[in-house]
Amino acid sequence: MPADAPPSSEEATDDRPVAIRTSDLTKRYGDDVLAVDALDLTVYAGEIFGFLGPNGAGKSTTIDVIMDYVRPSAGSVTVLGHDAQAETRAVHERVGILPDGYGLYERLTGRKNLEYAVELKGTGDDIDALLDRVGLESAAADRAVGGYSKGMTQRLALAIALVGDPDVLILDEPSSGLDPNGVRLVREIARDHADRGKTVFFSSHILSQVEAVCDRVAILDRGRLVAVDTIAGLRAALDAGSTVTLTVDAVPDRLTLGEVAGVDDVAVDDRTIRVRVGEAAAKVDVIDRVRDDGAAVLDVTIAESSLEDLFSAYTGGSSPNRDGPDAAGPVAADADGGTR
Amino acid sequence: MTASGIRLTIARKEFGDALRSRVVWGIVAVIAVMSSLSAALPLLVPEAGGGPEAAIGGASQFAGLLVPIMSLLAAYLSIVGERESGSLKMLLGLPPSRGEVLVGKFLGRGGAVVVGIASGFAISGVITAALYGELPVAAFLATTALTVLLAVSFLGIAVGISALTATRSRAMTLAITAYLGLTLLWDLAPNGVHLLVTGELPGTALPPWFLLVRGLSPTGAYNALVQRTLLGGAATDAALGGPSPAYLDPAVFLAVLLVWGALPLVVGYGGFRRADLS
């Protein structure tokens, strides 16, 4: 699975096989809508890659180009070394997609829908095994899809994406319409897929889902890439660690917490000590040190800085669950999922 | 899977969909009833005269008006319907290319329409034979084949429209426009041209170009070919008041039918291939 694309500066430091690479990818709609703006993104084989951003950030447009639903205005995309636009067949034989704004054949049963996909992909999958994997019961699979709930439809679409055990699984907002069990199922499927050496590209505007499952995350805002890192790396980069709050019988006169490695800030208020730490290991050290200094610890609470905080910091304060681009600049517009 | 395998898989599904949605049965029923009725008409109104040939001619008159509607109805949503529902994203996310989808749709829906028309004609053929005690088999089969060709021609137009448009409503507008323009208006066009050129409406002796213009629409070409099949070349000569020129050869009208089937498909594919399906 070699990457045929010319080496970029990033590849010079990392020669793992590449699953998806976008190079200077730009997509304009008309004159004033810039849905994706010079996006350079590399997803390595075998990782679960989170693609995060508010609605309308350009996530679905990027996936649309990866799948050749839409043609780029500039730049290019390769999937497993194949050009997404010129070698569509080669790409689609090895990719499974749960697209944004998809539909199924409502007059056909779930089983027929799935059989059609298996036949077109020529992979000979066991239909019942696929249904079982996404938690669709046999009785439900024999009913027409027109009567399905959103969650059942989503499960069936997920089963179609899994046809042929694709090397790259692209999931665009896979958890929408699913109950908590379904959300967990999506995570399990993503992990299971990655455990077998395959790649998962997981797009979402819901932070907790990406946080829970992804090895690395890209944050997209108004068509531009604003960050790519591991969740831990993003936290560290933002200096947004945890806050340990201790309730003590009496604050010692001589508090030596500032000497503990990993402690960034200490604040004392009455019988409460708030300590901001940048490293996980420092939390226990903080408690030990307060005891050593002579205080009895009555209570401890630890607050992780949420990914929401992180996200807001990166996207200039725009709330991650925001539906419309009303607070966004002139270029974000509705070219992406925001219209649906 | 091979490209032709993919096209056939899509075609088979489209054919099955058409059977399930009763499009085919509708076509069978309409064709059988209308052409049987028109076959019976000369018997009910004896003054009109004529034998089974006239009956087939009457049936073809109906077919010329109805078959285009059936083809358009059977296929004008074939691609744009999936585009609007989003199932096209699932389909194109699988190995099929846009061209294979287009060809598969054309073959599958075409197969359904052809089966419907052939079955409808078979029924009316039996009825015609029963009413008259005889059936000019060659003329009957030729008319059936020509009707199938007319259906395929409008099917190309319908699939082309469906590939070219982004919404159902736009596809419907174009389909209605195509029907009115090609089936009804085109029939009047030669009269208008005649009026403009000569200052009067056409009389008993028609200029040869008049027949050519009238035969340049799919329905016009179909009518010209059916007339030729049932009445022979002499009828054309009589209408013209002399021998007909080479450009009124049946091969020309056959070509017209085929071009009307193929050209919209090609144009539709050109637009579909480049379209952003977001």
Question: How do residues A228-252 score in pLDDT, each as one tens digit?
Answer: 988 888 777 665 567 888 899 988 8
Of A103, A120, A163, the CB nearest to B86: A103
Is A113 in contact with A160 (CB distance < 8 Å)? yes
Inform me whether the pLDDT recorded for B109 exceeds 90: yes
Overall average pLDDT of the B73-86 stretch: 95
Is A297 in contact with A258 (CB distance < 8 Å)? no
* Å between A125 CA and nearest CA of chain B: 14
* Å between B205 CA and nearest CA of chain A: 55
Q: Best residue in A26, A33, A97, A120 to probe B by mutation, most B CBs within 10 Å?
A: A120
B5 near A CB under 8 A: yes
Inform me whether the pLDDT recorded for A340 exceeds 60: no
pTM metric for this prediction: 0.82
pLDDT score, position B119: 92
Which residue in chain B has the smallest CA separation from A117? B94
A281 C-beta neighbours (distance < 10 Å), count:
9
A287 C-beta neighbours (distance < 10 Å), count:
16
pLDDT score, position A46: 94
How would residue A309 be classed by pLDDT, with cut points 50, 70 and 90? Answer: low
Provide, as residue numbers in chain A, all residues whose Cβ is less than 8 Å from the Cβ of B17: 107
The fraction of chain A above a pLDDT of 70, given in percent, is 84
Overall average pLDDT of the B17-34 stretch: 86
Distance CA A122, CA A163 (A): 9
Inform me whether the pLDDT recorded for A213 exceeds 50: yes
Token pair of B179, please? 């029907």
**Dihedral angle over CA of A233, A238, A242, A247, nearest 10:** 170
Inform me whether the pLDDT recorded for A26 exceeds 90: yes
CB contact under 8 A, B95 and A157: no
B45 C-beta neighbours (distance < 10 Å), count:
10
Inform me whether the pLDDT recorded for A322 exceeds 50: no
SS3 for B236-272, per residue?
Answer: HHHHHCCCCCHHHCHHHHHHHHHHHHHHHHHHHHHHH
Overall average pLDDT of the A144-149 stretch: 95
Distance CA A194, CA A167 (A): 9
Overall average pLDDT of the A24-36 stretch: 93
Distance CA B23, CA B77 (A): 13
B226-274: pLDDT as tens digits: 988 888 777 777 777 777 788 888 899 999 999 999 999 999 999 999 9
CB contact under 8 A, A92 and B6: no
A48 C-beta neighbours (distance < 10 Å), count:
24
Give residue A80's region: left, alpha or beta (phi > 0; psi -120 to 50): left
Alpha helices in chain B (DSSP H): 3-20, 23-44, 52-75, 80-85, 87-93, 98-132, 137-164, 168-179, 186-198, 208-214, 218-231, 233-240, 250-274
Overall average pLDDT of the A108-112 stretch: 96
Which ipTM did the prediction report? 0.89
pLDDT score, position A317: 56
pLDDT score, position B59: 84
Inform me whether the pLDDT recorded for B105 exceeds 60: yes
A58-67: pLDDT as tens digits: 999 999 999 9
Token pair of B216, please? 């340049």
Overall average pLDDT of the A298-323 stretch: 65
Residue type, B214: R
Inform me whether the pLDDT recorded for B219 exceeds 50: yes
Inform me whether the pLDDT recorded for A116 exceeds 90: yes
Is A339 in contact with A325 (CB distance < 8 Å)? no
Overall average pLDDT of the B169-177 stretch: 96
Residue type, A127: I
Interface of A with B (CB under 8 A): 29, 60-61, 64, 67-71, 88-89, 92-93, 95-97, 99, 101-107, 116-117, 119-122, 157, 160-161, 163, 335
**Chain position carrying tokens 């591991």:** A230
Overall average pLDDT of the A103-112 stretch: 96
Q: Does domain A9-94+166-235+311-339 have CATH number 3.90.1010.10?
A: no
Which residue in chain B has the smallest CA separation from A102? B86
pLDDT score, position A195: 93
B16 near A CB under 8 A: no
pLDDT score, position A208: 77
Give the mean pLDDT of chain B: 89
Residue scoring higher pLDDT (A177 or B6) = B6
Overall average pLDDT of the B63-74 stretch: 92
Inform me whether the pLDDT recorded for A144 exceeds 60: yes
Q: Which CATH class is domain A241-304?
A: alpha beta
Distance CA A144, CA A21 (A): 38
Provide, as residue numbers in chain A, all residues whose Cβ is less than 8 Å from the Cβ of B92: 67-69, 92
B130-139: pLDDT as tens digits: 888 888 889 8
CB contact under 8 A, B276 and A70: yes
How would residue B47 be classed by pLDDT, with cut points 50, 70 and 90? Answer: low
* Å between A97 CA and nearest CA of chain B: 6
Inform me whether the pLDDT recorded for A325 exceeds 90: no
* Å between B61 CA and nearest CA of chain A: 35
3-state SS, residue B160: helix
Which of A258-272, B156-170, B209-223 has maximum average pLDDT? B156-170
Overall average pLDDT of the A271-300 stretch: 86
pLDDT score, position A266: 87
Overall average pLDDT of the B86-90 stretch: 96
Which residue in chain A has the smallest CA separation from B274? A71
Segment among A14-28, A31-45, A176-190, B46-60 with least mean pLDDT: B46-60
Of A61, A105, A117, the CB nearest to B278: A61
CB contact under 8 A, B9 and A120: yes
Distance CA A219, CA A203 (A): 10
**Residues 90 to 109 of B: which have CB under 8 A from any A CB?**
90-97
A229-235 contacts: CB < 8 A, separation 24 or more? A231/A307, A234/A307, A234/A310, A234/A314, A235/A305, A235/A310
Inform me whether the pLDDT recorded for A51 exceeds 70: yes
Distance CA A135, CA B267 (A): 44
The domain locations on chain A are 9-94+166-235+311-339, 241-304
Give residue B232's region: left, alpha or beta (phi > 0; psi -120 to 50): left
